[in-house]
Amino acid sequence: MVKEIKVDENTIKEVKDLRNEINKIMFDFGNLKLEKINLDQRLKDLEKLESDMTAKYKGNMTKEKKIADKLKEKHGDGYVNLDNGTFVASGKN
């Protein structure tokens, strides 16, 4: 037969307090993990956005270079004045 021994109230309170604290820590670890998962997803989303924006930027730079090359072929060296819509030749044709 198992013998039960009464434990004093202070010890019981101490153990209960520790268990409560352990449970809170475990809960906080769970929240921390969920927060990390959300941050990881946000980082992936930002990296995808950065990649998409980089590709679009490079594509636009390529398009602009093609336009500049066409203008150079047609008019020689110079630049486009966007304010008045003219091509200003540099005179180095």
CB distance 58 to 44 below 8 Å: no
Is the pTM of the predicted complex or chain greater than 0.75? no
The structural domains of the chain, with segments of one domain joined by +, span 9-89
Alpha-carbon gap, residue 82 to 67, rounded angstroms? 14
User: Other C-beta atoms within 10 Å of 75: how many?
Assistant: 14
Nearby residues of 81 by Cβ (< 8 Å), 6 or more positions away: 87, 88
Alpha-carbon gap, residue 28 to 35, rounded angstroms? 10
Q: What is the mean pLDDT of each run of 10 residues along the chain (93 residues)?
A: 94 98 98 98 98 98 96 93 93 60
